Amino acid sequence: MPSYRFYLIVGSMIMEREETLCADDREAHDRADRRLRETGARYDAIEAWDGVRRVCRIERSIIP
């Protein structure tokens, strides 16, 4: 399983970094979405990365 990095962001600053194993990009996206929802209003966005490739960026403004 590939290792993905999640960056939790406020404004333009990375506030936290987490690593997790995911089967593929879809799972990484789903986990990132869930992780941002779990943080309440603490972070503005989350990015998931696989090495030097950004898999996704999810911003709080688009979360219902």
Please check whether residue 1 is in contact with residue 23, taking contact to mean a CB–CB distance below 8 angstroms: yes
Number of folded domains that form the chain: 1
Q: What is the mean pLDDT of the chain?
A: 94
Distance of CA 56 to the CA centre of its chain: 7
Torsions phi, psi for 55 (to 5 deg) = -85, -45
Q: Which residue has the higher pLDDT, 62 or 59?
A: 59
pLDDT digits (tens, 9 = 90+) for 14-34: 999 999 999 999 999 999 999
**CA atoms of 17 and 40, how far apart (whole Å):** 17
Domain containing residue 9: 3-62
DSSP label at residue 21:
E
pTM listed for this prediction: 0.90
pLDDT score recorded for residue 62: 54
